[in-house]
Chain A
């Protein structure tokens, strides 16, 4: 150490000399060795947890991301009973390889199609292949099932024979979709999730106006989540402040009231809002019976955006109260007193001294509520009606009804990406170290 300070090189700071231990080993290495044992033990200690996280978080999310770009509906068939995998549409895929996008499908193409249709019929995969094409071009599924049923009887010239079954087999868009689907990996589901599609020449275009749903829904989800976050903040701030300033015995009692919603089932809570808010509900009845509202003029507070807003604000309120409370409780009242004694009015003292100290709690609460709101599903499904649905409801629809899992995965991945983006923005603007979650 003293050597280093004596050497002129170190003094000008060009080549800082390496520090060594008493017996001449580099200090860094010695430190590493000394710590490696402790680190190994620490790692073994957390290893089970790591495995758990890997299993429960990383793998499902990885699976989802993979599924959003990978679909074998038009390339492989797996027999449910035997588990045997058969490649399908191989001939057509070969033709696509040999002819580039935009080539008019010729006799060879239709011959390949006919051969593939026979395979489809043999392994009973026509429905599957048709469904895959149907994701991107509606009305295609029946064309496949119908053609596969007659595949055996098709004879050359195949083009005429197949077009004879259905004029649409000439549609260049269909051929474009089949070309994309003939490889398992595709970004088309992301395009669909953004209301985009490709035209026959492979250019990305917007879908028809009356079929644009996802972007609008993303926007609504974002908008409603922001409004909900803001409303929980407005409601939670005074509650948390009250809780934080009351003596502990009283504040604990009130805290139980705040947490009470956690103890009742989400469904019960949502249903009770339905009882309260529907047009024949308690609130409307009360307003009508007191003469504030005319009977034929009842407020529509349920099965629309208002229903989603009210119910979700209530349900997510504790997630805002708790982080706020946890930053407010330790704020010593002497800070505000000091500000007042220094000449600040109570408003200035609040704005300049109290509020800034609660910002980490606001950030944490807002992030929690926002992320929960963005992904919320049950409440909007029950009380949202048509225009109170959020993106999660559509994801659920594609998971359960249309069975287009790849699209559901793509939508979910976009949601995840959006949240990560917001998180990053928050980090840049406020700083993640400025976050106090509890």
Chain B
């Protein structure tokens, strides 16, 4: 198994550590393998070491310990300009004294490509990002979204096999962001490029990636496809960080393979699926997604676990209803229900009974 994953690995981090000041480890023991053509997103809070990892891969920082391999070759001693990695910077880093066409032609020039071939490739790259008419302009004469596209085109024009993007959409408004998210994934898949994408926007990570690496505290907390990440978080940090989440605190009362009984702090006992809790008596955090909770008796499934709740707030949001409840002492318990014609609308102060399936309820570390 380990062998086969090594064989088709394109990018490999092996036991990589990084420290800037010799006192703190910014990256602690990073292990990551990335097959060719995959779109991997590094997701994590600010300061978790995402940019540092990217910079080590690009060659602008050296790993304090460990090995980084590209296509099986260790790149620790290869200078950045020989790595052949396309890179999109957060501030785009388009050269302000060159026109757009000159910016795009730069990587081809330094590779000694002939003029006519260069022009042809530049034109193709501009057309690819639908900026064909802008070749003669300066970067300062473009809007943020246009600059972003040019930065993308410049990172792709010399046909690298690996492209790194560091929060490329950070400066754009929501609508443009969504459009660009789609364009980037489309281009990456069409061209078959391996992509490492950095963001701290979890929606972006979920919608764009083949796999997401959730970073925290210099470590990968979970590396999984988006659906797995959302539905089966491996620890409470991932559960909290990805999507909206309800947590109830308690203690493990009984644990038995795939089943666990958790006694909540107000005495209530509930059935959960244990994830990273192992012993009776351990503190645990129970996590349930808001959309997996049901209050409509007619819709509740067989075997659902029910519990009493008090409605604190009911918010009409168009496509969904968002209700804030008090459950087992937690006043921030949120549930989301689809706005269907037969759906019951709740009122503040109402006492109701809510329910969920035990497999949607994860017992995680506290």
Contact = CB atoms under 8 A, between A and B. Distances in A.
Contact of A341 (B86, B90, B97): B86
Nearest to A341: B87
B91 A342 contact: no
A357 interface: yes
Contact of B85 (A332, A341, A348, A356): A341
Contacts of A356: 97
B106 interface: yes
A401 interface: no
Contacts of A341: 58-59, 80-81, 83, 85-87, 155
A344 B106 contact: yes
Interface string B65-103: 000000000000001111111110111010111000000
A332 B106 contact: no
The prevalent SS among residues of B at the interface is loop
Given A334-B93, A341-B59, A343-B84, 15 more contacts: A332-B91, A332-B93, A340-B60, A340-B79, A341-B58, A341-B83, A341-B86, A341-B87, A342-B81, A342-B154, A344-B107, A344-B110, A345-B110, A348-B110, A356-B97
A112 interface: no
A352 B60 contact: no
Contacts of B83: 341
Contacts of B110: 342-345, 348, 352
B76 to A, nearest CB: 16
For the complex, would chain A's binding face be called helix, strand, loop or mixed by DSSP majority?
helix
Given A343-B107, A344-B81, A345-B81, A338 B97 contact: no
Interface of A: 332, 334-335, 337-346, 348-349, 352-353, 356-357
A353 B91 contact: no
A337 B86 CA distance: 11
A337 B79 CA distance: 11
B89 A337 contact: yes
8 contacts: A337-B87, A337-B89, A340-B81, A342-B110, A345-B110, A349-B81, A352-B106, A353-B95
Contacts of B87: 337-338, 341-342
Nearest to B80: A340
Contacts of A349: 81
A352 B97 CA distance: 10
A436 to B, nearest CB: 13
B297 interface: no
Contact of B91 (A334, A346, A357): A334
Interface residues of B, number: 26
A344 B81 CA distance: 6
Nearest to B104: A342
Interface in B90-130: 90-91, 93, 95-97, 106-107, 110-111
A-B pairs, 5 with minimum CB distance: A342-B107, A338-B93, A341-B87, A334-B93, A340-B80
Contact of A342 (B59, B90, B97, B158): B158
B89 A334 contact: yes
Contacts of B59: 340-341
Interface in B244-264: none
A343 B80 CA distance: 7
B96 A357 contact: yes
A338 B80 CA distance: 10
A332 B16 CA distance: 28
A337 B59 CA distance: 9
Contacts of B93: 332, 334-335, 337-338
Contacts of B89: 334, 337-338
Contacts of A357: 96-97
Contacts of B82: 343
B97 A343 contact: no
B95 A335 contact: yes
A391 to B, nearest CB: 37
Nearest to B90: A334
A268 to B, nearest CB: 42
Contacts of B154: 342
A341 B87 CA distance: 7
Contacts of B79: 340, 345-346
Given A334-B89, A345-B81, A339 B97 contact: no
B297 to A, nearest CB: 58
Nearest to A355: B97
